[in-house]
Amino acid sequence: MTDTIFDKIIRREIPADIVYEDDDILAFKDIAPHAPVHVLFVPKRSLATLNDAGPQDAELLGKLLLAASAYAKREGFAEKGYRCLINCNADGGQTVFHLHLHLLAGRKLREPLG
């Protein structure tokens, strides 16, 4: 898989506003936020898209979701609500080909998703 901007952020080669880190995940604020809270949860292990995840990645995918909900609880907006989403490939709107989970919150998010 090719090196992406997120790999460079993980290696601290370019700056980001990092809000959470553990052995498997780095989370940082989106540079072009779509909501008052817009954080990207990125696995340190390189997977280009959700299509590249297999059964061996089930725990990692679960950790991404749990890291996002823990952040929402810590930051105090869990009860009010938030949205988690993963874009996959062109029709899904993916632009950075290193799997990541968007966490959006801080305002009433519009329906429908698309």
**Residues interacting with ligand 5GP, by CB under 6 A?**
5, 16, 28-32, 40, 87, 93-96
CA–CA dist 87, 97 (Å, integer) = 10
Choose the catalytic residue: 34, 38, 98, 100: 100
Would residue 100 show up in a list of annotated catalytic residues for this protein? yes
**Closest distance between ligand 5GP and the C-beta of residue 40, in Å?**
6
Least distance in Å: CB of 8 to ligand 5GP? 8
Contact residues for 31 (Cβ-Cβ < 8 A; gap 6+): 16
Nearer to ligand 5GP, 29 or 74 (CB): 29
Question: What value, to the nearest 5°, has the Cα angle with vertex 78 and ends 57 and 12?
Answer: 50
Nearest-angstrom CA–CA distance, 91 and 89: 6
Beta carbon of residue 31, minimum distance to ligand 5GP (angstroms, whole number): 3
Catalytic residue set: 100
